[in-house]
Chain A
Amino acid sequence: MRHKSLILTLVFLTSLTLGGLTSAQEPMTLTVMRFFGDCQDEYGDSVDLTGITGECGIITTLTNMWNEQNPDIQVETIVAEWPGTTQLNAAIAAGTPPDITVLHGRRIPIYASRGALTPMTAAFTEAGIDLADLTAGAADYGVYEGEYYGLPYDLAATIWHINLDLWADAGLVDENGAPVLPGNREEFLATGRQIYEATGVPFADMPGQAATVRPLTAFIYQQGGSLADEEGNPTVNTEEALNALNFLLEIQASGYVTTPYSDISGAIGIEKFSGGESAGVIDGTWRINVFDGMVAGGEVALKNYYVANFPQIFDEPGTFAGSHNWLVPLGPDADPERVAAAAQFIKWLSDNSVVWARVGHGMTRTSVLASEEFLNLPHRSEYAAMSETVRSVPREIWGNAFWGIVHEEVEAALLGVKTPEVALADAQTRLEEFELFQ
């Protein structure tokens, strides 16, 4: 009897141990390669988003929170240098790609066309991501040849940062405290003249690429133009592009707009705007948090800060916006279990994207735009409409080369090195040459 009890006890304990072993599976570890910086020292243990407004702090804390709440799917971060492509290419070429990565949307086609990305439409849907919730502007940002490869996380758009005090000096602030914005070519130049005469400063600084490829693209779209023909080939040398470029030359010559293209980082534009030496700066959404911080610090001349949409000069509203997209670079034959887990993490980031809006980036989801939390963020209601009218480079392989080529050629025209016609023709030729190598 004693022996029998002992044997039964042993069998029971063994079954418990084995059962325990089978149920406590090793957690799955996903690797996420991203830029946005490394801030482990400051946010390595952070699981509270209160008061965090910077990209690195937010993404690090969100990852920590995920790891805390999901012991079965742990996420390890690999920090890459912006724009993330060199490290990603090396990892893919070595056969050790991360499970998830972040890339600018215009790079999706070249990766997807080489079979480096995992098609995600089904995985996103199964994970519960409502793709219909994406705004009209952002809906096709992560799509290549009809398939979702990436989930657009934000809209890094070109907008107009405004010093309300200087606009008020020119009598251009209405009874609601909003600036009286121009709505066409003539009004734009008249507004510039009025502010210059009242304050002696330009009403828009356009630093770096905010003077070239971004406004050119926006103005082409505002005319209903396109950057690609029906077959998807690049079309930069068009009547709309010439109109857009001539307008850029016109506003540069007016003196009301300064175009320091050499201010690549935009640092001088920030200094001038915050110091009250320009009444506005046309630059990215990512500056909003920076300017808000300066105003709150109270040590700069800028006191009343307003964010407006990119000026509408032609028939339709619209601005250029890039987008950070979350992708799975495991190829088309990836392990479905890993893909599903990756989709879950991407959903988590997307569901919490309102926190990402603190940086200043535009949002890609209609539900987030309507949320109280978003609308309560400073300035967000001033430019929220932008999320519906943004446009980007067509999702074609040549989109990878578009940015650098068009920036350089527009700059050549603005500097007088080339005529607008020659600059656009050269841009077209270079993009077509790029296509020949594909």
Chain B
Amino acid sequence: MQSALKPGAAQRLANSLSQRKWRDAGIAYLFILPFLLLYILFTFLPILQGFWISLHKWDVIGSNVRFIGLRNYQILLQDKLFWSSLEHTAFFALLAGPGLIVVGLALALLLNRPIRGIGIYRTLFYMPNILSVTVVGLVFARVFAPADRGLVNVVLDSAGGQPHSWLLDVALAMPTIAVTKIWWSAGFNMLIFLAGLQDIPQELYEAGRVDGANRWVLFRHITLPGLRRPMLFVLVLQVIASVQVFPLIEVLTQGGPAGSTRPLVMYLFERTFEYWQMGYGSALAFVLFAFLFVISIAQIWFFNRREED
């Protein structure tokens, strides 16, 4: 092949390719430039500014601003409410995260069949996801209302059970919120898994059946590995969403009873906007960001490693 080229032609071709590469890259950068500028202006710079604020004693309004270095971070480490909020957040993520994945996957498996009216079922199961957090919160505040005023207690009562004060019980309030979250958001995961399931070649299942594999084996060795990418996507998103939980809890319990459901973002909001401690609130936000960053990277690394294996 090399001998077919005239002397210097290879160099010219390489130069031409290099020029085209640079030209293509330039065009590509031009296309993303508007987004990049907006991203830097409205996301990246505010993040940097947030960190700068976290190094200060900084009121929401007024000129009460003083540089204090890492003092906010030092206070944070000894702040009992910070640690309890972090604990509540982790508890919620552990309760809601697996539930959202299992229920989303189960719904996707059920609705990935050629049955009559499948479009209606898919719509119905996805529908809670389009409701606003206020609507969901208010509805479930009534569903889990105490004594005989809530749907759950009425059903329990008619089945001979004892009514509970679901949202008033320190031990039950967070699981109750997690159940509400699963009802509300599992439809989104269902949609992602459904798309993933439809991407798995049917030939793999046919080959498996020919080899005598039962349903569990097919699920374990074809479906689950085929859903690795959607699973990673859902897992990362769910962890981020769970750690950032706030509005649903605000509507259902306002962080109560006795602060037992106060998540980290609610605490951050409280300190920043209720107490006007913007510097401390920014420090909390950066710690939250660090947690999420490490967890997300760990998840991606874990899944990529499994894929390479």
Interfacial residues, chain A to chain B (CB-CB below 8 A)? 85-86, 89, 92-93, 110-111, 114-116, 260-264, 268, 271, 400-401, 404, 408-409, 411-412, 415, 417-418, 430, 434, 437
Do A268 and B60 have beta carbons less than 8 Å apart? no
Which positions 53-100 of chain B face chain A at CB distance < 8 Å? 57, 59-64, 81
| B253-306 interface with A by 8 A CB criterion | 253-260, 270, 273-277, 280
A86 cross-chain contacts in B, Cβ below 8 A: 273
B167 contacts A by Cβ under 8 Å:
yes
Whether a CB of chain A sits under 8 angstroms from the CB of B146 is yes
Task: Tell me how far the C-beta of A170 lies from the nearest C-beta in chain B, rounded to whole angstroms.
Answer: 22
For B254, the closest partner residue in chain A by CB is A264
| CB-defined contacts of A412 to chain B, threshold 8 Å | 257-259
Contacts A411-B256, A417-B170 hold; do A260 and B270 have CB atoms under 8 A apart? Answer: no
Asked whether A434 and B275 contact (CB < 8 A) given A116-B61, A264-B254, the answer is yes
Q: Is B168 part of the binding interface, using a Cβ–Cβ cutoff of 8 Å?
A: yes
Classify the interface of chain B: helix, strand, loop or mixed. loop
B62 and A116 within 8 A (CB): yes
Bound form: Cα–Cα A114–B60 in Å: 10
Q: A110-B276, A114-B63, A415-B257 are in contact. List 18 more A-B contacts (CB 8 A).
A: A85-B273, A86-B273, A89-B61, A92-B61, A116-B61, A261-B256, A264-B254, A268-B145, A400-B276, A404-B270, A408-B255, A408-B258, A411-B258, A412-B259, A430-B81, A434-B275, A437-B57, A437-B277
The answer to whether A115 touches B273, judged by C-beta atoms less than 8 angstroms apart, is: no
B221: CB under 8 A from chain A? no
Bound complex: CA A411 to CA B258 (Å): 5
CB A58 to nearest CB in B, in angstroms, measures 26
Q: Which A residues lie within 8 Å of B255 (CB)?
A: 408
Q: Which residues of A contact B62 (CB under 8 A)?
A: 114-116
CA distance A404 to B274 in the complex (A): 9
Cross-chain contact A415 with B258 (CB below 8 angstroms): yes
Instruction: Give the residue name and chain of the A residue nearest to B138 (CB).
Output: A265
The answer to whether B274 touches A262, judged by C-beta atoms less than 8 angstroms apart, is: no
Q: How many residues of B are counted as interface, with CB atoms below 8 angstroms from the partner's CB atoms?
A: 30
CB distance from B305 to the nearest CB of A (A): 43
Q: How far is the CA of A260 from the CA of B167 in the complex (A)?
A: 10
Counting CB contacts under 8 A, is B149 at the interface? yes
Contacting residues, chain A, for B274 (C-beta < 8 A): 400-401, 404
Q: Residue-by-residue, is B229-263 near A (CB-CB < 8 Å gives 1, otherwise 0)?
A: 00000000000000000000000011111111000
The interface centre, meaning the residue of A116, A260, A400 with most chain B CB atoms within 10 A of its CB, is A260
Question: Which residues from chain B contact A263 at a C-beta distance below 8 Å?
Answer: 146
Q: Are B277 and A268 in contact (CB under 8 A)?
A: no
Nearest A residue to B280 by beta-carbon distance? A437
Q: How far is the CA of A401 from the CA of B59 in the complex (A)?
A: 14
10 contacts between A and B (CB under 8 A): A86-B273, A262-B165, A262-B253, A264-B254, A271-B149, A400-B274, A400-B275, A408-B259, A412-B257, A412-B258
Quick check: B280 and A260 within 8 Å, CB to CB? no
User: A417 to B64, Cβ gap below 8 A?
Assistant: no
CA distance A261 to B168 in the complex (A): 7
Bound complex: CA A261 to CA B173 (Å): 13
Q: For the complex, what is the distance from the CA of A401 to the CA of B277, rounded to whole Å?
A: 11
Instruction: Evaluate whether A114 and B59 lie within 8 angstroms (CB atoms) in the complex, with A262-B168, A262-B253, A404-B270 already known.
Output: yes
Asked if residues B257 and A262 are in contact (CB atoms below 8 Å), the reply is yes
**Contacting residues, chain A, for B165 (C-beta < 8 A):** 260, 262
- Provide the residues of chain B in CB contact with A417, threshold 8 Å: 170, 258, 260
In the assembled complex, the Cα of A403 lies from the Cα of B91 at a distance in Å of 27
Interfacial chain B residues near A408, Cβ < 8 Å = 255-256, 258-259
A382 to B258, CA, bound (A): 35
Residues A93 and B60 in contact in the complex (CB < 8 Å), given A268-B145, A400-B274, A415-B170: yes
Say yes or no: B149 contacts A268, CB within 8 Å: yes
CA distance A263 to B255 in the complex (A): 13
> Which residue of chain B is the closest to A114 with respect to CB atoms?
B62
* Least Cβ–Cβ distance between B87 and chain A, in angstroms: 15
Closest Cβ–Cβ distance, residue A37 to chain B (whole Å)? 15
* Chain B residues whose C-beta falls within 8 Å of the C-beta of A411 in the assembled complex: 256-258
Chain A residues positioned under 8 Å from B168 (CB to CB): 260-262, 415
Are B258 and A262 interface neighbours, CB within 8 A? no
Which residues of chain A are near B270, meaning CB under 8 Å?
A: 404
Give A184 Cβ to nearest chain B Cβ, in Å. Answer: 30
- Tell me the nearest residue of chain A to B251, going by C-beta: A264
One of B57, B64, B146, B260 near A260 (C-beta < 8 A): B146
B255 (CB) vs chain A CBs: closest residue: A408
> Restricting to B23-73, which residues have a CB under 8 Å from any CB of A?
57, 59-64
Kindly state the separation between the CA atoms of A86 and B61 in the bound complex, as whole angstroms. Answer: 11
Whether the pair A114, B258 counts as a contact (CB closer than 8 A) is no
Name the distance in Å between B284's Cβ and chain A's nearest Cβ: 13
Residue in contact with B167 in the complex, picked from A93, A262, A404, CB distance below 8 Å = A262
CB distance from A212 to the nearest CB of B (A): 10
Q: Which residues of B contact A93 (CB under 8 A)?
A: 60-61
Shortest distance in angstroms between A405's beta carbon and chain B's nearest beta carbon? 10
- A114 x B61 contact (CB < 8 A): yes
Chain B: minimal CB distance from A95 (Å):
10
Interface bits B149-189 vs A (CB < 8 Å: 1, else 0): 10000000000000001011010000000000000000000
Count chain A CB atoms within 10 A of each CB in B145, B167, B257, B258 and give the residue with the most. B258
Query: Which residue of chain B lies nearest to A437 when distances are taken between CB atoms in the complex?
Result: B277
- Rounded to whole Å, the gap between the CB of A267 and the closest CB of chain B is 8
Closest to B145 in A: A268
Instruction: Report the Cα distance A210→B173, complex, angstroms.
Output: 21
* Chain B: minimal CB distance from A98 (Å): 14
> Please, which residues of chain B bring their CB within 8 A of the CB of A89?
60-61, 273
Residues in A whose Cβ lies below 8 Å from that of B170: 415, 417
